[in-house]
Amino acid sequence: MNPPSGLSARNLIMSQSRLDRQLRIEGWDQSALENAKIGVVGDDDLLASLYILSASALGMNRLVVLAPVLSAQLVETAERLNPRFSLTHVEGFYTHPMLDEIFDGCDLILDLSHYGLCNKLLLEKGYRESVPVIRGFCFERNGEQGFRVFTYLRGREWQELQQIVSDQNLPDYHFDDGVLDNIVAGIVLEETKTILMGGQASDEVITYRRKKLSDSQGQPNLLVIGAGALGVFVGLGLAYAGFKNITFMDADIVDVTNLNRQVLFHDAVGASKAQALSNRLNHLFDMDGKARVEDFAQQTEVSFYDAIFDCVDNFETRIALSEKCKHENKVLISGGTSAEAGQAVIFDPLEKGPTPAELLGLYDIIRHRAAGAPNRERASCSYQPDPSVVMTNQITAGFMVDAYRMLLAEQKPNNIFYSSRSGEKILAEGRNQACWTSN
Amino acid sequence: MLDVELKKAPQVDEEEELKPLVLEIIPGHAAEGLVEIYQPGSYEGESLRRLVDKALTKKNLSIEEQLILEDISRQLEGGKLLCRGQEIGGTALEFAVSEQTEAGEKYFYVPVRAIRPQEGGHVRPEPWK
């Protein structure tokens, strides 16, 4: 591959290293992402900005955004994360068809707005020019909050379109939520990637909803164990949700290969992940975050914390965390991701249910792994990192934070199993009968 | 999946009514799974685990069913069977929801999913391939 003009050989090597974890995915077509031009319409500073940040991390280079305002901090982070990232920001609303020349040459358009006029204009443009339009938005209606995502391709003039056109025609006040926005940004980016790489876009309206949350959540002391990709997005989600007292625990340091998904570490390669994450969030959100530069172990003191977020990257530590929280009666929100799936599993000691390790059968997995170890040890070994991308971490982390908010609001959150490959992307699996009969 | 469209019905006071039990074992996030129907009298005292084991060891499967079974087996390599996010202990009726077909035929429905948990981006030694 020839380096593009203006890009030094060193930058190119850095870029390849930065994207290493996703380049390992079978069938991955990075050039399809790098060469694409994406149009984005937003009407608040958050959802579009979160998408911009993740798209930059994924190695997408050309975005044209029409929105009244963007988050300066998230945009700056996106630009520093990816040296080739180019953003054209047009300030305003999409209220007239004449504006559609802004999006000339775009491979697809994202509609992240909340006003019907824009929704209809973009669907019409998508129909007329055969440009895919990915629609994602949060909503609040009839005492419920949630989000919807739908990918419109020409030929999909289906009744489902009614569900994705906003009731109000012109820009006005609308419900927005940083936690749900993170999930929407992740799912919309997954759809973007799928279409650009020639895959099959989701053909259903992806919907998530729950009862409206109460306003008062207090300021609990939270411990996030693991400050990698999942930890970064859990931290970001907790910060957007208004939590201030967060401690991040991780003994690891930032590596350049983390930067395709650990979106807040662009200037922290070589630094402690826990320290870098708490510093960055303290700066962005005026928080009182702290860092513990250590690995979690059975003897780790956790009595100070009201809830623990499991963002670790291995089943052994996940088991230890489950046992610790069961023993100390701590709320545990456990997450796990791969390049194409993720789960958020909740342990509430008041319910006396199984821990995440028990529910997911992690003991058996570890036992079988140990039984297979002698064979592996006989073979020549190399260190093979698992492929990872930003989307599954962003989505799973969002569900983890939302589950915790639901617990605080005395709702019963479901365990969530997400898969980017299936038709049914989000499985909300109830943890008790009351939950699944009421859905 | 049944060849008629299943339609969820509100739960009513019909616990004592004799109804067939439809057990569906679904691989991961798939929309359709392996369906086994148990007639009244054949499942009431049985544990859900035992009914699932019976369904998974059933012979004379169609080609479509065999493909679903292979998918389930793949998920179970490092995965687990869950029913509505719970372990499948207890009887099938404890997990059953009353539903009816469009034709009005009532039945109990129990979906069991083979779910493989995700671990994370851990760097671990693997043999050369």
Reported as a single tens digit per residue, the pLDDT across A246-269 is: 999 999 999 999 999 999 999 999
CATH number of the domain that residue A188 is part of: 3.40.50.720
What does the pLDDT read at residue A88?
97
Q: Tally the domains of chain A.
A: 2
Q: Final residue of a domain: which of A192, A211, A230?
A: A211
Answer whether residue A2 is part of any domain. no
Answer whether residue A4 is part of any domain. no
**Beta-carbon separation of B80 and A359 below 8 A:** yes
Q: Are A260 and A57 in contact (CB under 8 A)?
A: yes
- DSSP at A107: S
CA pair distance A380, A145, nearest whole angstrom: 52
**Beta-carbon separation of A421 and B29 below 8 A:** yes
Taking the alpha carbons of A418, A423, A429, A434 in that order, is the dihedral positive or negative? positive
What does the pLDDT read at residue B124?
56
Answer whether residue B128 is part of any domain. no
Same structural domain for residues A190 and A237?
no
Answer whether residue A1 is part of any domain. no
CA pair distance A257, A269, nearest whole angstrom: 9
Look at residue B63 and tell me whether its pLDDT is greater than 60: yes
Which residues of B, range 6-65, sit inside 8 Å of A by Cβ? 11, 28-31
Same structural domain for residues A206 and A266?
no
Closest alpha carbon to A423 in A110, A173, A117, A205: A205
- Out of B97, B119, B125, whose CB is closest to A314? B119
Answer whether residue B65 is part of any domain. yes
Q: Which residues of B touch A343 (CB under 8 A)?
A: 115, 117-118
CA pair distance A41, B21, nearest whole angstrom: 49
Answer whether residue B99 is part of any domain. yes
Q: Which helix (H) or strand (E) holds A417?
A: strand A415-419
Q: Final residue of a domain: which of A211, A236, A252?
A: A211
Would you call A431 helix, strand, or coil by DSSP?
coil
What does the pLDDT read at residue B16?
54
| Phi, psi dihedral angles at A363 (to 5 degrees) | -60, -45
Report CA Rg, chain A. Answer: 21
What does the pLDDT read at residue B5?
38
Answer whether residue B39 is part of any domain. yes
Answer whether residue B36 is part of any domain. yes
Same structural domain for residues A166 and A276?
no
Cα A134 to its chain centre, rounded Å, is 17
Residue type at B27?
A: P
What does the pLDDT read at residue A14?
73
Q: Which domain holds residue A267?
A: 222-438
- DSSP at A379: S
Average pLDDT over residues B44-68: 94
Chain A CB within 8 Å of residue B76 CB: no
Q: Are A386 and B121 in contact (CB under 8 A)?
A: yes
Taking the alpha carbons of A100, A106, A108, A113 in that order, is the dihedral positive or negative? negative
CA pair distance A152, A159, nearest whole angstrom: 12
Answer whether residue B12 is part of any domain. no
**Beta-carbon separation of A343 and B125 below 8 A:** no
Q: Final residue of a domain: which of A211, A243, A262?
A: A211
Same structural domain for residues A49 and A155?
yes
For residue A419, give the chain B residue with the closest CA. Answer: B29
Same structural domain for residues A379 and A415?
yes
What does the pLDDT read at residue A89?
97
Length of chain B: 129
Answer whether residue B42 is part of any domain. yes
pLDDT tens-digit map of A152-206: 999 999 999 999 999 999 999 999 999 999 999 999 999 999 999 999 999 999 9
Structure tokens at A83: 């040296």
**Beta-carbon separation of B97 and A437 below 8 A:** yes
- Out of A361, A385, A437, whose CB is closest to B121? A385
Same structural domain for residues A267 and A194?
no
Same structural domain for residues A132 and A239?
no
| Phi, psi dihedral angles at B95 (to 5 degrees) | -105, -5
* Mean pLDDT of successive 10-residue stretches along chain A, which has 439 residues: 55 81 95 98 93 98 97 96 95 93 96 97 96 97 96 95 94 93 98 97 94 88 98 98 97 96 96 98 95 96 97 96 98 97 96 94 91 56 78 98 96 94 83 44
Closest alpha carbon to A292 in A258, A252, A259: A252
Same structural domain for residues A231 and A251?
yes
Q: Which domain holds residue B103?
A: 19-115
* A229-240 helix and A178-196 helix, angle to the nearest 10 degrees: 140
Structure tokens at A109: 């358009």
What does the pLDDT read at residue B84?
86
Same structural domain for residues A277 and A372?
yes
Answer whether residue A216 is part of any domain. no
Same structural domain for residues A228 and A205?
no
Look at residue B126 and tell me whether its pLDDT is greater than 80: no
Q: Tally the domains of chain B.
A: 1
| Interface predicted TM-score of the whole assembly (ipTM), two decimals | 0.86
pLDDT tens-digit map of A383-419: 678 899 999 999 999 999 999 999 999 999 999 999 9
**Beta-carbon separation of A314 and B29 below 8 A:** no
